Structure 1
Amino acid sequence: MDTGELNAVLEDAGLSPYQADAYVTLLELGSASASELASASGVPQPRIYDVLRALEDEGYAVVYERDQLYAQANDPSEALSGLRTAIDRYETAISEIERRYREPAAEDGAVSLVKRLRTVFEHARENLEAATEHVQLAVTSDRFADLRPLLRDARDRGVYVQVSLYVPPDESVPFDRSTFEGVCTEVRRRDLPGPFLLLTDRQRACYAPQNRLSDEYGVIVDDYTTAYVFHWYFLTRLWEVYETVYNGRSDEPPFSFVEITDCIRGLEPRLAEGARITGRVIGEFVGTGRPCELEGEFIGVEYTGSRSDDEPASLLELAAEATIRFETDDGVYTVGGCGADTEDVAGKRFIVGRIDERRADE
């Protein structure tokens, strides 16, 4: 760094131009009389005394009297406290600028409208890292490849991962089964374009429409009620009607459901045939919010619609009331889905441990 640049930095740290000139010259000379310093630095002689006193007040120099006024550069560890303070302020300002760039531009409680898609994707990565129960993801092939390591980590933690993968109708799925193993619980191939959507634990959502640079925006949600709307949008628009291209869930017990709708559709035909189905329900008591894990038997289901003999209940029939009756040693509990408010228990995970089919002579 040349002298001019050093002077400029010292001025940024709060020194005046004369003070910076005098201090840099004093560093080169070590010590000098006031008149010598004025001549060497170019500071006008009438100003040099005020300049030296100011440098002393700021800790840059020590001023002392002999036959005339002398000055000596102070120890840099003491002299540069002002410069270090300025550096800290710049670093703090840089961090604040970066934070404000990433933060949502407009907030409304737990729902935020953001101006940059980058912000949506950054929040999506953070939400994936924090997921504990359930992930629902609508994504392109490129974005799936980018998020795949985080999805694998989520599966390793026991998270149930559903992926709606957009692949244009004239293309084949660019991944084989091994790409999804250990990464997803189920993948469905969607041939209609749509938004980027990530829901985690039915509480948080990250939404970005198709990338149109002239209208770039996104929505970030951390609220169960609002996320519930995105959940049903995912099920009806991005999931239910599409072909399954990968299913990593076993057809034989033990296996689990995170959606009460899937659980009812999976269990009701077996219950109608007289099967005895035992397992566990993990969730929380609706009245107290206290976590619970019940062990017992799935003994019945109730929902708004009615099932025909040929087809399981449709998603529409399960969209309103959807309840499982679960018997334990303590009695029979009614179990709803995540966010239930009329049942005894809000279920987060439904685990089928054993299915005993009805014997032919019964």
Structure 2
Amino acid sequence: MTGEELFEKLSKFGLSPYEIKVYKTLLLNGPQTSTSIVSTAGVPQPRVYDLFNNLLTKGLIEISPGKKKIYRAVPVDVALTRIIGEMTSYRDELSEFIKSSEPETTKYNPYLWYMDNINLIREQMKNMVMNAQSEIIVSLRLPLLRYLDKYLLDAAERGISVIITVFPDSDRYDISQLVTKAVIKRRPGISPEIMIMDRDEAIVYVDNISTKTKYAIDFQEQEMIHIINYYYYNVVWKPSIYISKFQIKDSWGFKTSWISCEAINVFMNNGYRLTGHVIGDTQNGEVNISGNIKGTDVIPGYKNSYLIETDERVFTVGGRLTRIEDIRMDLLELHAEKIQQ
């Protein structure tokens, strides 16, 4: 950033272009008379005293006593710290007033963000991958697969469960490294590109053929995420064919019940004993339990749940918005151990 651009940012503190010129001149050249300032700063002579009064009011300059006035700048750290303090105090006062003035019931406005710029869309997807805590579910065509490849690989290497559906165009790209770290399926045909992070945020990227436009919607609304997750599972995931399945590692972390059930079935069918740690909610509040995974209970289009046995009892566990299971899952940490023959 150039010095000129740096000083222009003083406009954020309420300074006009001429006020910035005067303050900059005094900061860089030291105390001066009004005549000298007019010459050095390049401001109109008739305006200069108004500018001085404004800068005095804002606490940015000082004037010497006596008949011959000398003007000097208040140091940046002193002047701007005072302004920032006043702005912070005003912010807190205004926020408190708005909060106290809100009606008791307010309209719920879900978070929705419309994006029609491919660079913005892919950067948002990249940020979601980088910020994931447990799980990334995604379907990608070749251009976004190329761009997000290394970030998805990094996520898998730091322990995130990375679930990917690719399309036929991926045959033109080497995904051999991802195959060793992520769970990947290939769908026979194209469908919308979707990303779901930790069941907390989702992006749907749409290629509208009729209008020849591309756009994406980013949202953090649980019911909408549930619908998109359901669509992904039934329309994108189920018709697809495995390229790489769930591999043995220290633990898998899941936020989504159908992925949990899929992993449980894969491991059990290959002779593994499973234990799990579940964090979730019941009708009586939060639960945090550990036990042996006993199997799954899946009815297509109705439920994807699994059973965990503790010293107390056997619990059924479903998705975050489930209505019929004992526990609404927020997180499953799954551990697999090969059964000795």
> TM-score normalised to the size of structure 1?
0.61
Aligned equivalents of 2:296, 2:273: Cα separation in 1: 12
Structure 1 residue identity aligned to 2:114: V
1:223 maps to 221
Change (3 A) 1:157 1:351: same
Q: 1:261 to 1:50 in 2, by over 3 A?
A: closer
Contact 1:323 1:334 in 2 (8 A): yes
The answer to whether the aligner puts 1:112 opposite 2:109 as a matched pair is: no
Q: Provide the secondary structure at the position in 1 that maps to 2:301.
A: coil
1:286 to 1:156, Cα distance in 2 relative to 1, 3 A = farther
Matched, 1:283 2:284: no
Q: Which residue of 2 aligns with 1:349?
A: 332
SS at match of 1:234: helix
Query: Contact 2:31/2:72 (CA < 8 Å) preserved in 1?
Result: no
Deviation string, structure 1 residues 187-241 (Cα, Å, up to 9, x no partner): 2223533332100122310112127796443211212221111112212222221
Amino acid at match of 2:194: L
Question: 2: distance between equivalents of 1:269 and 1:38?
Answer: 84
Question: Counterparts of 1:247 and 1:330 in 2: how far apart (Å)?
Answer: 33
Alpha-carbon separation, structure 2, partners of 1:235 and 1:179: 21
Q: Is the 8 A contact 1:194 1:210 kept in 2?
A: no
Contact 1:132 1:154 in 2 (8 A): no
User: Deviations for 1:103-152, whole angstroms, at most 9, x for unmatched residues?
Assistant: xxxx9733414143344434323322222222111112332232233323
Aligned 8 A contact 1:61 1:79 in 2:
no
Identity rate of aligned residues, in percent? 13
Three-state SS of the structure 1 residue aligned to 2:190 is coil
Alignment partners' CA distance in 2, 1:124 and 1:11: 39
Residue 321 of structure 1, aligned match among 303, 308, 313: 303
Structure-2 separation of matches of 1:163 and 1:205: 14
Q: 1:108 to 1:124 in 2, by over 3 A?
A: farther
- The unaligned stretches of length 5 or more in structure 2 are 85-106
2:193 matched residue in structure 1: 196
Structure 2 CA distance for partners of 1:318 and 1:211, relative to 1, 3 Å: closer
Match of 1:64 in 2: 66
The 1:261/1:135 distance shift into structure 2, 3 A limit, reads same
Tell me the alpha carbon deviations over residues 142-168 of structure 1, each in whole angstroms, 9 at most, x when there is no partner: 322322333233223322111112333
Question: What is the match of residue 95 of structure 1?
Answer: none
Tell me which of 306, 325, 331 is aligned to 2:313: 331
Residue identity matched to 1:131: A
* Unaligned segments of structure 1, at least 5 residues: 89-106, 304-316
Cα displacement string for residues 61-105 of structure 1 (whole angstroms, at most 9, x for unaligned residues): 54633xxxx333x233469998x79x99xxxxxxxxxxxxxxxxx
Determine which structure has more spread, i.e. the larger CA radius of gyration: 1
CA distance in 1, matches of 2:31, 2:251: 81
Name which of 224, 233, 236 aligns with 2:234.
Answer: 236
Write the mapping of 1:18-57 to structure 2, written as runs, cut at 5 A.
54=53
One-letter code of the match for 1:64? G
Deviates more, 1:144-153 or 1:130-139: 144-153
1:148 aligned partner, one-letter code: D
